[in-house]
Structures are given as structure tokens and as C-alpha cells.
Structure 1
Amino acid sequence: MSEIKMPTFLAVESALKDSGLAVTPSELHGLLVGMVSGGLPLDDQTWKPLIYDYTNEGMGWPDSAIKMGEQVFQSTVSELTSDVIVLEMLIPDDTETLMNRADGLSEWVNHFISGLGLVELKMDKASESLKEALLDLEEIARLGIDEDDDLEEQEALFEQVLEHVRICVLTIHAELGQRVHKDSSKTVH
């Protein structure tokens, strides 16, 4: 079985820009992770109309962009449903400035929350840990980098915030996200 790889930030950015779509890779990935973590079915195409409505006024995407979107979706599902859950956020990497990475994280978190909303998250049934994780994410979405502060210290804080975002997202996904059911009754001969 081949592992589905997340495309690079630059590859996704290029496909979206070339298609004339006003969405960043961080926004797209945050939205998809939010929808998947909120319980979106994993085995159909229900994510596409939601993305079209949210990013392109209901109009479909050009083929090159939808192929890239499918790759991001499939790798997201693979990450969140594998035996070892991993979450690599599609935000600018450390070759970018701290400001650009912080902006990317903010976009990602805001769109993650929007993705939860698109799948109609019901807060009245949510656990306290889910509510706390969501409140933390809402607070993180408003954070910024102060250019006048020590950038080395800001870098260390950014890494801590990034890890906390992962924990919050995985907490929400653990409670609401769909699971891929593996057939354990198969026998290999």
C-alpha cells in the first residue's frame, strides 16, 4: 500500500493561483482538516461542493486545482486516520519569515474553525475538552507576532503554539472525526 503524500505548500499555491482561486494552501488545508475533524464522510465527494461554495461562490474548480485539492484531501484523511495519527499543517515552512509562517498558521486555524462550521458542529453535544480546544484555537487565531520583540523568543513561542494547535485539532478529531474501518478478518496466505 502506497502512502499518500501531502503536496508541498508551493505546489498547492501554484495550482490555486494558476486556476485563479483566491484561497491559500493554508486556508484550503485548514478548511479540509476542519471538515474531516468535524465528521465529514471520508468515502464520498461531499467535501467538493462545500469547498466550491466557500472558496468560489459555488462554481467548480478547474481540473488542475481540483486534482491538487483531491491530493490534499486524501493525504489529510490518510494522516488523520492512520494507525499513527500525524498532522502536518500546510503552512509556509521555515524558509519563510516568522511573520509569513504566523500569518499562515492564523489562516489555517481560522479556516479549520470554518470547516467545523461547514459540517455543522453541534456544540451542545460537545465534551468539555472539545470546547476547551475550540476556545484555545479561537484565541490562537487572533495571535500575532510583535516585530519589536525578540524574534528568537517569538520563534520558540511560535513552535509551542504550533504544537498546541496540533493537540487541539487532534482532540477535536478524536471526538468527532470519522474513522476508516479496516477489515481485520482478512487472512494473508
Structure 2
Amino acid sequence: MSEIELPDLTAIEAESRQLALAASPFELHGALCGWLAGGGGSVREWPAKVLADDALPAPVEGGALDELRKASAAQLADRSFDFALLLPESDASLAERSGALFEWCRGFLGGFGLAAGARPRLSEEGTEALGDLAKLAGAQAQADGDEEDEEALVEIEEFVRVAVLLLHGDCVLAAQHRQKLN
């Protein structure tokens, strides 16, 4: 597990309801991570940015959504690859977990597109990873499955995690590196 832990899912859900956010916690975290990976700033009013609704209030400083932003930004910036996706616990049903993962990917694509723009500077691997995330975002939750389906979901989660780190590297770390060279 990561040294930098994400806040508790129930706290995130509660604060999301308080702010009347129209996205699930999974889609919201995906959008936040897409925004950050695409080069968007780690700002307290991030829900307004990632959900493209300037009327949304900023989360309470130190609250679950503010901590989610801080932890996600720190995980992405950390070189130890400890980035974690906000998803249901492993004892949740396959349908619940796969559905949440696909929601996460949908949110990621939206946030990434808002931050990175129409033509981000991506490596060949980054372009391929973004296309694969788009396919996952269009997938439907699996109703039930066997051990093989469980293993496949774990592999897909790991793929998404690595794809996000790759895209963050292309859009944020490479841009920082280019700035240092100039």
C-alpha cells in the first residue's frame, strides 16, 4: 500500500453529497487524477475545474475532498509508483468493482482532456495508453464472474494505474524537464 493514503471512501461520499457533486467518488477521483496527470494545478477548488462547473464550491480545507486532492497529487509526484486508484474494497462484488473502475476511467478521460487540451504532447506509449483507457471508459460492469475474471480485473486495475503514471510523466514530468532545459 501507499505511504500516502487516500481518505476513507465514506468520508469522500459524505462530503460529495454535501457539495451536491453529480459524480460518484470513483468518477470524481478519476477526474481529479486526469486533471493532475494532464497538467492541471492542485488547487482546493478542484471539483469546479474537473467537473467544468464554476458554480461548484471549493471543498472544506482539510476535509476528505481536500485530502483526496493532496494525497493524489503527492502520489502522482512520488517516484516510488505508489499511486492508488480510489475503488471499492476487494470484498465488494465483481460488478461493483468493475463498474467503479470503468467510472474511474470515464472521469479520468474528462479531467485529462480539460487539463491537457485537444493535442497533448504524448509519447507513443502514452497515446496508446490513453486509447486503452478510452476503451475501458466505454466498458460495462461485469455482472458476475469466476476466479479468472477476478484476476483479469486486478490486471486491468494495475494497467490503469501504470497508464496514469505514464500519462502524468508525458504531460507533467516531461514538461517540467523541458522547462529546466530552456
User: What is the TM-score with the length of structure 1 in the denominator?
Assistant: 0.79
1:167 to partner: Cα distance: 1.4
- The residue aligned with 1:70 is 66
Structure 1 counterpart of 2:149, from 149, 154, 164: 154
1:47 and 2:46 aligned:
yes
Letter in 1 for 2:137: A
- d(CA) in 2 for partners of 1:65 and 1:45? 7
2: CA distance, partners of 1:8 / 1:87: 16
Unaligned 5+ segments in structure 2 are 177-182
Residue matched to 2:23:
23
**In the comparison of the two structures, how many residue pairs are matched?**
173
- The structure 1 segments of at least 4 consecutive aligned residues displaced by more than 4 Å after TM superposition are 62-66
Matched, 1:112 2:108: yes
Shift of 1:127: 2.0
* 1:124 Cα deviation after fit: 6.1
8 Å Cα contact 2:39/2:116 also seen in 1:
no
Contact 1:41 1:178 (C-alpha < 8 Å) held by counterparts: no
Name the stretch that deviates more: 134-143 or 122-131: 122-131
Letter in 2 for 1:154: D
How far is the alpha carbon of 1:17 from its aligned partner?
Answer: 2.0
- Give 5+ residue unaligned stretches, structure 1: 182-189
| Identical pairs, percent | 27
Using the size of structure 2 for normalisation, the TM-score is: 0.81
* Residue range with higher mean Cα deviation, 128-137 or 20-29: 20-29
Question: Pairwise CA RMSD of aligned residues?
Answer: 2.6
**Partner Cα separation in structure 2 for residue 40 and residue 30 of structure 1:** 13
Task: State which drifts further: 108-117 or 64-73.
Answer: 64-73
Q: Give the CA deviation at 1:45.
A: 4.8
d(CA) in 1 for partners of 2:61, 2:99: 23
Distance 1:60 1:142 in 2: 27
> What letter is aligned with 1:67?
G
Question: How many angstroms apart in 2 are the aligned matches of 1:124 and 1:8?
Answer: 33
Work out the CA distance in 1 between the residues paired with 2:158 and 2:139.
15
**Other-structure match for 1:135:** 131
